[in-house]
Structure 1
């Protein structure tokens, strides 16, 4: 439980930074910063808890993630102008938040005794939907839909690594560490080295 809480807090903070950066790019006021930071911070976890019928939702039971999001929003509001490329920082912070959030989703679903398929889906949902909501509200092309980039694939692979870890070692931290390592490696590799999945290319019908 403590590990899951720590993951939720960490994911909330880093995702909130990305939401606030999106707000800075859209030139919003401080309330807009709070809103986008909070939405990004708790969006994925809220959907996860709603689907799993987890009562109450994590930030209702403990409003700390909302306070964390507000702190992150204030930090970005007063420092974003110092960044050379806010978009680049946003993308890399998102890449850092993704594996943490995926691990949180996997941890919650597993602690509730869900099947392997549900654990996989909840890992992906928790990791991707906060950023998806951020980008839609900020009127940006969602990072999760960037052509061919490893995003959902990275989240799914990380969740799978968490499920496979107990087959290799019985160390209690192994699933979380494996999830974070695999998710970040794939997402970072996609950004830094251009790792891609093949994309659909339409072909003219045969005559």
Structure 2
């Protein structure tokens, strides 16, 4: 089980790091800025989760290979032309993958520490969204989680509860985690593709 969790973590780190790097490049940041935004995007949610649950030392301090990996990716992105050509429109897929993975990992850790399903789902959403919130704020953009466009945090919340249901029915944590991740990623991409929103602007009265 640990190997599966760790593999998901590394995939999530890479996905969110790329979403941060793309956002930083869109704002014409230098390599230091690109690394900073990538680091915050990839590890910000987990840091908040660990601080809230008093989980010390922070996960990325215990696993220094993660910030080292982000540094290597940032250098490659800054100086390798094929990678640097990625644009802001390419942020949706890696952001959705990172959202799904980190949401479910945060929720799973909360459950392992004895928290209720509801608290676990909230901590999962925080883990999945906080890094992106910091990324967008530092890049002077309205964060995805606060935009009145396609659903974002709500799909993370729904994915948590789907995972809880699958685990309750089949008692297979790995399958439940995978179901939650896939559901969040697919729902997020569908929301973008079909412009699914929780609320739409009301037409002005004539």
- Give the TM-score, by structure 2 length: 0.90
Which residue pairs with 1:71 in the alignment?
Answer: 72
User: Which stretches in structure 2 are left out of the alignment for 5+ residues?
Assistant: none
Say whether the 8 Å CA contact 1:24–1:80 is kept in structure 2: no
Shift of 1:202: 9.8
Say whether the 8 Å CA contact 2:15–2:97 is kept in structure 1: yes
Say whether the 8 Å CA contact 2:20–2:135 is kept in structure 1: yes
Q: Distance in 2 between matches of 1:122 and 1:90?
A: 24
Shift of 1:39: 0.7
User: Which stretches in structure 1 are left out of the alignment for 5+ residues?
Assistant: none
Q: Distance in 2 between matches of 1:129 and 1:109?
A: 16
Q: Which moved more, 1:69-78 or 1:151-160?
A: 69-78
Which residue pairs with 2:85 in the alignment?
Answer: 82
Change (3 A) 1:34 1:81: closer
Shift of 1:121: 0.7
Q: Distance in 1 between matches of 2:58 and 2:202?
A: 41
Q: Distance in 2 between matches of 1:22 and 1:192?
A: 20
Which residue pairs with 1:29 in the alignment?
Answer: 30
Q: Distance in 2 between matches of 1:2 and 1:113?
A: 22
1:182 and 2:183 aligned: yes
Shift of 1:81: 4.1
Say whether the 8 Å CA contact 2:149–2:195 is kept in structure 1: no
Q: Distance in 2 between matches of 1:70 and 1:50?
A: 23
Say whether the 8 Å CA contact 2:15–2:94 is kept in structure 1: yes
Which residue pairs with 1:54 in the alignment?
Answer: 55
Q: Which moved more, 1:164-173 or 1:183-192?
A: 164-173
Which residue pairs with 1:105 in the alignment?
Answer: 106
Question: Aligned residue pairs: how many?
Answer: 202
1:134 and 2:135 aligned: yes
Shift of 1:58: 0.3
User: 1:160-188: CA deviations, max 9, x gaps?
Assistant: 11111123212231220111121112101
Q: Distance in 2 between matches of 1:163 and 1:202?
A: 39
Q: Distance in 2 between matches of 1:7 and 1:37?
A: 18
Q: Distance in 2 between matches of 1:106 and 1:179?
A: 10
